[in-house]
Amino acid sequence: MRLRRDHVAGAAFVLAGALVLAVSGDLPFGTLASPGAGMMPTLVVGLMMAFGAILLVRAGASPPLGATSWSDLVHALLVGVLAALAVLVYTILGFLVTMPLLLFTLTFAVERRPLVPAALFSISVTALTYGLFVWALNTPLPTVPRDLAELRERVGLPPARLGQ
């Protein structure tokens, strides 16, 4: 059997889904009448694993793995690193600072789009997403730190002792 792109992609989706299910098993699933915090993630991961399995079954129609062009690998790694950095600072800087910075960096610096459209895109997507979650879905998002003391607390630093 020749290893193909969809063999690798399907196996990655199935394995990643199994890992997420194993790690998030402590979230309450609930019932259909009263869904718990773990219901939607479990359903999404289940669908991801199902589609990964379909990729595995139909992998014979995809090109061989050896024929894959890796010219976009640096681009993909850069996007992954920026997303990981955003995850790290999300709870520290809050949604309204982290998301526009991430989107602007991705569109302007990585995708090389013009400055004004990249800024407008970043701000408008952040505003629409914030409105959806906070007002329509009534879901709180991490806020921007009010002052330096709150920022130090979020980072885990001791309070500043001025004059000592």
Residues 130 and 86 in one domain: yes
Residues 62 and 81 in one domain: no
pLDDT band at 33 (very low <50, low <70, confident <90, very high): confident
Asked which of 47, 67, 87 is the last residue of a domain, the reply is 67
Burial 130-153 (b: 16+ CB within 10 A, else e): eeeeeeeeeeeeeeebeeeeeeee
Residues 43 and 19 in one domain: yes
pLDDT the model gives residue 160: 67
Residue range(s) defining the domain that contains residue 19: 5-67
Asked which of 46, 67, 88 is the last residue of a domain, the reply is 67
Give me the number of domains the chain comprises. Answer: 2
Q: Which residues pair with 64 in a beta bridge?
A: 4
Asked which of 34, 52, 67 is the last residue of a domain, the reply is 67
Q: Which tens digit of pLDDT belongs to each residue from 54-86?
A: 999 999 889 898 888 889 999 999 999 999 999
Q: Which tens digit of pLDDT belongs to each residue from 88-133?
A: 998 888 899 999 999 999 999 999 999 999 999 999 999 999 999 8
pLDDT value at 42 more than 80? yes
Residues 60 and 75 in one domain: no
Residues 107 and 62 in one domain: no
Structure tokens at 146: 């009010």
pLDDT band at 9 (very low <50, low <70, confident <90, very high): very high
Residues 15 and 57 in one domain: yes
Residues 113 and 57 in one domain: no
